[in-house]
Amino acid sequence: MSLLEHNRIIINQKAKLIELVNEYKIRDSDGTDIGVIRQEGQSKLKKVARFVSSLDQFMTHTLGAYDADGTKVLEITRPRKILKSSVEVTDGPGSTVGSIRQQNVFGKIRFGLHDAAGTKIGEIRAENWRAWNFAIVDVTEHEVARITKTWEGLAKTLFTTADDYALEVESTVSGTLRQLIFASAVAVDTALKQDSRGLG
């Protein structure tokens, strides 16, 4: 089974005392490793800037999602931002899948899911800022997926920003929407968590 065919996955951000390169393990509901997401194309200067400043949110971030056998299945790029985030998504070979666009700055954050032609095909809706629960709906307002975050033990959280994200997707979801939903679990982190120091 390929990574995108799973209906329940856990994305585990690899714990680091100093987070300079984002890296995530992807596991199925049984805890089996089924893939990995890693940050790509970071220069030494950017790593230093992440360490000594809060400029992270203004930098471009690119993450690649890989199957267990090392095959690239998705690439997620978040260009530098000022207020609203946008995330561009391509498939493994590099063809455009679509984009995830932040729709508002204040209140419960929402993101539009857009296909390669720019047509909106779904939306991510933050239900609770602090708990990090997100519902994903299609164009008919039907909930088709959910992202929830489980905080790790308090002692560990004090020293790292490592979290677990659980993604559940309806088995009937396919194609571009499924690809964007999988990308969303990563986009929630790269688009919002970077700014939690100022908005949380």
Question: Which CATH number does the domain housing residue 65 bear?
Answer: 2.40.160.200
What 3-state class would DSSP assign to 2?
Answer: coil
pLDDT at 15 over 80: no
Answer with the residue of higher pLDDT: 158 or 82: 82
Answer with the residue of higher pLDDT: 162 or 105: 105
pTM: 0.81
How many domains are contained in the chain?
A: 1
If pLDDT is split at 50, 70 and 90, which confidence band does 55 have? Answer: very low
Alpha helices per DSSP H over the chain: 44-52, 154-159, 175-192, 196-199
SS3 content of the chain, % helix, strand, coil (to 5): 25, 40, 35
Question: What does the pLDDT average to over 51-75?
Answer: 75
What 3-state class would DSSP assign to 49?
Answer: helix
**Residue 170: both structure tokens together:** 């309806």
pLDDT at 125 over 70: yes
Answer with the residue of higher pLDDT: 152 or 62: 62
Question: What does the pLDDT average to over 76-96?
Answer: 85
**Residue 173: both structure tokens together:** 């979801």
Query: For residue 147, which of 164, 161, 133 has the smallest C-alpha distance?
Result: 133
Contacts for 137 with CB less than 8 Å, ≥ 6 apart: 122, 123, 125, 143, 144
Question: What does the pLDDT average to over 33-58?
Answer: 60
Q: Are the C-beta atoms of residues 160 and 13 closer than 8 Å to each other?
A: no
Domain that holds residue 90: 3-199
